[in-house]
Chains A and B, each alone.
Chain A
């Protein structure tokens, strides 16, 4: 099965005076997994529900495989959907849930449903009822149910957010594996940046009903198009700087810019991993706090009344107890401005 292309074209959705979606354009390539990422209320779920046909757009078009489906009712759209939680029919067991969509189509259900259960690794639990399954298992069944009807597009609406951290990571990787295997074009909505970066071919960062940036995970992380993206994706230091020409000077370091900016005073957004803290007895800058986070650790120092967070390998943490004088260096990676 090969995926189809999806285009959201100038989508608008207003609730009274609130613009849930404000002229959203989004293209998903055949077989691609795009994650929509953003804070709650940014319109990402609205976009997914309009694509599913569960909500109507105030203006704009939805194209699937070149066909305009904007006015098509949800039950004719051929989209598999996985909800946040509790979407399994409680009166049906695992197998019956997966067969459900197939039975509606009167197609031979048994084999396809069994295949799908195998795909998500739940063949053994085919006779269990939803209340006998864990949250992670329920979501796998929901995924199998959505894929069983061989949908043109797979829609995942925060499918992992109701699960424990550990199960979340496992299931995330598994969703990616299955999606790659079946090749269905997929839209994945989440508010968790780590999840989005880990699972998607491309990540669309949304804010107030608009796309701020649509790019590969590494691009979004390393070259955030706007301050909002830099801030929302990963942790950033906000440090004062001065732009001259195509560079910005921050704490005595000259750094390249992501996008050109007029000369003058600015606030630069710099990732903790671009900042290094090295013990230096001559420095006046001192470590305020240091926190152990696993393989990497963070130290906070105060430079001219600005808090600067730097990431260091945990092996070096014992050398950096609070009070240690340190020297700060910034790697010359491109910087976004606020």
Chain B
């Protein structure tokens, strides 16, 4: 009760102390995040500009990113990410559209979105093995095709190269697209179609002038998210590709595991930094497009 009598100056004086005490409550979180997230991130950034001796600023590592084999790895990583993102986006958008044409609370839609939620997280070793069991050299589909006189690998085994990785990646890209694109499709109001029709428009005009432009930012943004997703993926490729390092994450693995022998640790950090830059650019563009989508279709 005495607190009621406390006058203004006292309150002002007490505030900082309270704030300080309140801050104490967040110390464990910030300490943990600093050690296991901030420091590693800084280690990558600083390491990328540090000589292999451990001391001294250098641009050698970043300059080494221009080496032909690293540029080629980035090129392949981007090709793989872009192609799997575009295929995943188109097919995922079709699937999402097929879902919204049905009942909004129907069992089918709920089952498919639930399954998409699971499959979008599905990757890594298990996914690689699933495809090995399917179209590996002695896989289910391969054997079946060969029994029917068709050999998918007549022109060489492509499963362990970019086409194979693209195929395997679409397995988690399509579900991810369904999850991120479905809300945008749900945001399309029936009034727009009806208003469009009452103003004299036909179906083609509806898609080109109303639904198309409205969905374009969401579609583009989702595709970028899929790109970042594929670009960051490591485990699937690592389990599938055992020889050579066609893409950047596998190059980084090479740099990490051979660090004792060749002392390439900081080149690995430079490549890691390169990956972060690509992902950051893509994710920034994604969030800008997402903001527009939220305004139009929120």
- Is the beta-carbon distance between A75 and B191 smaller than 8 angstroms? no
- Is the beta-carbon distance between B192 and A105 smaller than 8 angstroms? no
Residues of B within 8 A of A171 (CB): none
The one of B194, B205, B297 in contact with A81, judged by C-beta atoms closer than 8 angstroms, is: B194
- Is the beta-carbon distance between A91 and B191 smaller than 8 angstroms? no
The one of B191, B192, B198, B209 in contact with A74, judged by C-beta atoms closer than 8 angstroms, is: B198
Inter-chain CA distance A79–B197, complex, in Å, is 10
Residues of B within 8 A of A146 (CB): 198-199
- Chain A: interface residue total (CB-CB under 8 A): 31
Inter-chain CA distance A145–B191, complex, in Å, is 14
Give the interface centre of A52, A84, A87, A149 by most chain B CB atoms within 10 Å. A87
Chain A's closest residue to B213 (CB) is: A91
Would you give the 0/1 interface string for B195-212, flagging 1 where the beta carbon is closer than 8 Å to chain A? 111111110010001100
**Size category, B interface:** 20 to 34
Inter-chain CA distance A88–B296, complex, in Å, is 11
Q: A90-B295, A90-B296 are in contact. Are A101 and B199 (CB under 8 A)?
A: yes
Residues of A within 8 A of B295 (CB): 90, 131
Instruction: Flag whether B103 is at the interface (Cβ < 8 A).
Output: no
- Is the beta-carbon distance between B296 and A80 smaller than 8 angstroms? no
Q: A90-B214, A131-B295 are in contact. Are A101 and B197 (CB under 8 A)?
A: no
Q: A75-B202, A86-B189, A104-B205 are in contact. Are A54 and B195 (CB under 8 A)?
A: no
Instruction: Flag whether A76 is at the interface (Cβ < 8 A).
Output: yes
Instruction: Flag whether A83 is at the interface (Cβ < 8 A).
Output: yes
Instruction: Flag whether A292 is at the interface (Cβ < 8 A).
Output: no
The one of A54, A91, A145 in contact with B197, judged by C-beta atoms closer than 8 angstroms, is: A54
Chain A's closest residue to B193 (CB) is: A54
Inter-chain CA distance A94–B191, complex, in Å, is 17
Inter-chain CA distance A110–B267, complex, in Å, is 60
Residues of B within 8 A of A155 (CB): 198
Residues of B within 8 A of A76 (CB): 200
Instruction: Flag whether A100 is at the interface (Cβ < 8 A).
Output: yes
Inter-chain CA distance A81–B191, complex, in Å, is 10
Inter-chain CA distance A112–B200, complex, in Å, is 17
Chain A's closest residue to B192 (CB) is: A89
- Is the beta-carbon distance between B199 and A87 smaller than 8 angstroms? no
Chain A's closest residue to B189 (CB) is: A86
Inter-chain CA distance A168–B43, complex, in Å, is 62
- Is the beta-carbon distance between A105 and B194 smaller than 8 angstroms? no
Can you list 16 pairs linking A and B with CB atoms under 8 Å apart?
A: A52-B194, A74-B198, A75-B198, A75-B200, A75-B201, A75-B202, A80-B199, A81-B195, A86-B191, A88-B195, A89-B195, A90-B296, A100-B196, A100-B209, A101-B201, A149-B200
Residues of A within 8 A of B (CB): 52-54, 73-81, 83-91, 100-101, 104-105, 131, 142, 145-146, 149, 155
